[in-house]
């Protein structure tokens, strides 16, 4: 699918690997000015090296989305460098190994909430402040098929993604008349480092999807690109399912 984001400034958090890198790759190919962040400097360096030769431009910033001072500094650096922030994709997220609910440590729960929920909250706050100053913008949050469904033994992750879905819809309504569109994408299982960390035998995931397969990185990236583009100009507060029919079963 061909998109044109020429002269658009795009932020992708958690862009060092997996879905974040795939999303950043799509925006770079569409001629955007792309900033990617990651908590891992090694992942970030590799990602920037991979993307540097494409049509757009890419800049990497090491960042912890769960820290307000780092998030605020991130947006300030983007504005100082490019003058604005047109599109933000809040993709940074983590999970925990599958475990029975009663055996999950409080520290593990807190860690997932800090990145997946507080991180999105902090990023949206900083992004919206800037978008209000410049007259508008677009935000796409990374939710999940588990924002609308269940996944036994993954309760911290599922809880966090339900929260992201609710936050997306609520904040979208709040800013709907101020030229800021906020949507979320809800992917099914895609073979990424995060999914591989949760499930050893990936074949067991096929049956969760009506299509009997896992999603491909570019299929989720296309959904993000659609939500970020003017093609979705009448969409805000929506949860776009790109899940191979998981939530329809």
- Catalytic residue list contains 226: no
Which position has the higher pLDDT, 191 or 102? 102
Residue 37 DSSP SS3: strand
Q: Domain extents for the chain?
A: 9-248
**Considering only the top CATH level, what class is 9-248?**
alpha beta
pLDDT tens-digit series, residues 148-157: 999 999 999 9
Among 82, 151, 157, 226, the active-site one is 157
Query: For residue 57, what pLDDT band results from cuts at 50, 70 and 90?
Result: confident
> Tokens in use for 144?
């999940």
| Average pLDDT rounded to a whole number, residues 77-100 | 96
Whole-number Å distance between alpha carbons of 13 and 246? 26
What is the pLDDT at residue 199?
Answer: 73
Check pLDDT > 70 for residue 123.
Answer: yes
Q: Residues near 87 by Cβ (< 8 Å), separated by ≥ 6?
A: 5, 8, 9, 10, 11, 27, 32, 137, 138, 139, 140, 228
75 by Cβ neighbours in 10 Å (0-12 / 13-18 / 19+) ranks as buried
* Inter-CA distances, 89 with 14, 97, 228, Å: 9, 25, 9
Q: Give the predicted TM-score (pTM) of the model.
A: 0.95
pLDDT digits (tens, 9 = 90+) for 175-231: 999 999 999 999 999 987 767 776 778 888 899 999 999 999 999 999 999 999 999
With tokens 């100053």, the residue in question is 133
Given a cut of 60, is residue 54 above it in pLDDT?
no
Grouping H, G, I as helix, E, B as strand and the rest as coil, residue 17 is coil
**Is 224 in contact with 185 (CB distance < 8 Å)?**
yes
Looking at residue 56, its pLDDT comes to 59
């Amino acid at each position: 699918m061909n998109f044109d984001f020429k002269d658009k400034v795009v932020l992708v958090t958690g862009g060092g690997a997996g879905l974040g890198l795939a999303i950043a790759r799509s925006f770079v190919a569409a001629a955007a000015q792309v900033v990617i962040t990651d908590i891992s400097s090694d992942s970030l360096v590799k990602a920037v090296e991979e993307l540097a030769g494409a049509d757009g431009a890419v800049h990497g910033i090491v960042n912890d989305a769960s820290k307000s001072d780092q998030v605020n500094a991130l947006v300030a650096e983007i504005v100082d460098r490019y003058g604005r922030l047109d599109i933000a994709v809040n993709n940074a997220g983590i999970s925990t190994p599958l475990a029975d609910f009663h055996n999950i440590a409080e520290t593990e729960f807190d860690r997932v909430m800090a990145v997946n929920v507080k991180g999105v909250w902090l990023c949206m706050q900083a992004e919206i402040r800037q978008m209000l100053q410049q007259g508008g913008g677009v935000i796409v949050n990374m939710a999940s098929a588990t924002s609308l469904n269940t996944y036994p033994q993954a309760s911290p992750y599922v809880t966090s993604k339900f929260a992201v879905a609710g936050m997306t819809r609520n904040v979208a309504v709040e800013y709907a008349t101020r030229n800021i569109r906020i949507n979320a994408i809800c992917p099914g299982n895609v073979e990424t480092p995060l999914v591989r960390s949760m499930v050893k035998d990936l074949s067991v995931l096929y049956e969760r999807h009506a299509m009997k397969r896992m999603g491909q990185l570019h299929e989720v990236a296309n959904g993000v690109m659609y939500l970020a583009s003017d093609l979705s100009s009448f969409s805000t507060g929506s949860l776009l399912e790109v899940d191979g029919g998981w939530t329809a079963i």
